[in-house]
Amino acid sequence: MTTAGGSTVRTPATDGVPVPEAVVVGEARDRFARDTAVRRVAPGRYTACVDAGWSVVDGAAPNGGYLLALAARAMQAETGPHPDPVTLTGHFLRPPRPGEVSVEVEVVRRGGRHTTVAGRLLQGDVECVRLLGAFGDLATAEGPDRLALAPPAYPPLEACIDVTSAAVERAAAGELPSFPIQERFDHRQPAELASWAVGRPTGRGEMGGYLRFADAVDGVAMDPLGLLVVADCFAPAVFNTTPGLTSWVPTIELTVQLRGHPAPGYLTAAFTTAAITRGYLEEDGVVWDADGNLVALSRQLALAPR
């Protein structure tokens, strides 16, 4: 039956571990929850709907981080006391179209601290994404801390450009195509990092700024699975290396590590590309929450734009 919050239906798993059976789309608290909702149709099998509002460009492929989050929602439903993907890797085989997909989940191992889960996102009989992750509970995780990282020294939020509004205005004027994934976020960027869009890249492989979901409610923290999309929602850092280098950058593999649940407020994200060789590039990301806590790290392998 539906819980009091209207979010899940629970049934016992075959090994006795309670798992969520379904996420009720109509009662999701925000667009991200609604557009990553899954429904359990058989043990280890879920259906979902890829929403076109998370496409990279209007009418093009869905964002890779969004597909990772959608699949992770189904994988999370099988992990019992371990809800957080402390590491999740996706290999992108082919882009699905907007519409119905299925996610097949296999629990590889249940341990005291982590549950290892494999997943496949399919459209019809065609596999689109293959995933492997270790899920834990970041709310109760304990252990030593040592950080040689610090949040980037960006200008204050109010001094940054509202690049989401600027992109929407330019698309409405016919100057740019529509970028649906960008409209899902409230992006604020330092002017220097946004200058690639007007033909003045920094000459360095870097991208970043402040962001939160476009429909974020003050005082309400982002769903930790949203960090999987944050790791892939900025323009590629390679766009700031060379003028005109702004065509499609297809992701081959993306790994995201979650290190904590984000506090309410804007996240701070920084992405860099240091090695472009023989048409391949890496992009490394670091994400901090509004309280200055490290909450995610990412690395992806992609094809360089031509």
pLDDT, position 4: 30
Residue with tokens 């094809």: 303
Whole-number average pLDDT of the chain: 90
Residue 301 and residue 276: Cα distance in Å, rounded?
10
Residue 91 and residue 94: Cα distance in Å, rounded?
9
Considering only CA atoms, which of 305, 303, 266 is closest in space to residue 287? 266
What amino acid occupies position 242?
T
In this structure, what DSSP letter does residue 239 have? G
List 206's β-bridge partners, or say none.
272
What amino acid occupies position 28?
A
Q: Where in the chain is the domain with CATH 2.40.160.210?
A: 8-136, 157-303
Residue 241 and residue 175: Cα distance in Å, rounded?
22
Query: What is the sign, positive or negative, of the torsion defined by CA atoms of 301, 124, 51, 12?
Result: negative
Q: What percent of the chain has pLDDT over 70?
A: 91
Residue 92: pLDDT band (50, 70, 90) is very high
| Predicted TM-score (pTM) of this structure | 0.90
Say yes or no to pLDDT of 2 above 50: no
For residues 59 and 40, the answer to whether their CB atoms sit within 8 Å is no
Instruction: Report the run of H or E that residue 274 belongs to, with start and end.
Output: none
Exposure string over 237-270, b if 16+ CB within 10 A, otherwise e: bbbbbeeebbeebebeebbbbbbbbbeebbbbbb
Per-residue pLDDT reduced to its tens digit, 5-61: 334 433 334 344 444 444 443 346 799 999 999 999 999 999 999 999 999 888 888
Per-residue pLDDT reduced to its tens digit, 130-148: 999 999 999 999 999 999 9
Residue 178 and residue 184: Cα distance in Å, rounded?
12
Per-residue pLDDT reduced to its tens digit, 270-306: 999 999 999 999 999 999 999 999 999 999 999 998 7
Residue 72 and residue 148: Cα distance in Å, rounded?
29
For residues 298 and 256, the answer to whether their CB atoms sit within 8 Å is yes
User: What are the backbone dihedrals phi and psi of residue 166, each rounded to the nearest 5 degrees, phi first?
Assistant: -65, -40
pLDDT, position 209: 98
Residue 220 and residue 229: Cα distance in Å, rounded?
18
Residue 244: pLDDT band (50, 70, 90) is confident
pLDDT, position 243: 85
Considering only CA atoms, which of 122, 120, 125 is closest in space to residue 108? 120
Tell me, which fold does domain 8-136 have in CATH? Porin (2.40.160)
What amino acid occupies position 9?
V
- Other C-beta atoms within 10 Å of 197: how many? 19
What CATH architecture does domain 157-303 belong to?
Answer: Beta Barrel (2.40)
Per-residue pLDDT reduced to its tens digit, 112-132: 999 999 999 999 999 999 999
pLDDT, position 12: 34
How many Å is the maximal CA-CA distance in the chain? 58
Mean pLDDT computed over 226-236:
96
pLDDT, position 28: 61
Residue 195 and residue 125: Cα distance in Å, rounded?
43
Say yes or no to pLDDT of 259 above 60: yes
Residue 172 and residue 177: Cα distance in Å, rounded?
9
Query: Would you give the distance in Å from CA 257 to the centre of its chain?
Result: 11
Residue 303 and residue 298: Cα distance in Å, rounded?
17
